[in-house]
Amino acid sequence: MSCKGHHPERMCVVCRERFPKEELTRFVPPEETNEPDFRPVPDPAMTRPGRGYYVCDQARCRERFPKMIAGLMKKRAR
Ligand SMILES: [Zn+2]
């Protein structure tokens, strides 16, 4: 049934569905981040180090992502 063997998948942090990696946009924290409300930067080449956040192509996910990330970072900060 599953032919996903060779396809790296990532989960969209907003809708939590899984997509082939190339259909997602990766965001990473900016280089220096001590700020509680930092802005994630897109990483189209997917080469930046560190924890990445993947967001799918759906408009609602793109829209919600900035708010979402703020919540994620708050949780992570403790
Ligand atoms: Zn999504």
The parent domain of residue 63 ranges over 9-76
Within-domain flag for 47: yes
Domain membership flag for residue 4? no
Domain count, the chain: 1
Distance 57 CA to ligand 1 centre (A): 7
pLDDT digits (tens, 9 = 90+) for 3-24: 556 778 999 999 999 999 889 9
CATH number, domain with residue 40? 3.30.1230.10
Q: Cα(3) to centroid of ligand 1, in Å?
A: 22
Which pTM was predicted? 0.69
* Ion ligand 1, residues whose Cβ is below 5 A away: 12, 14-15, 56, 61
Going through the chain in order, the beta strands assigned E by DSSP cover 9-11, 18-20, 25-28, 41-42, 53-55
Distance 36 CA to ligand 1 centre (A): 24
How many residues would you count in the chain? 78
> Does residue 3 fall inside a structural domain?
no
**Residue at 51 is within a domain:** yes
Q: Are 43 and 24 in contact (CB under 8 A)?
A: no
| Domain assignment present for 31 | yes
pLDDT tens figures, 33-62: 565 556 778 888 888 887 788 999 999 999
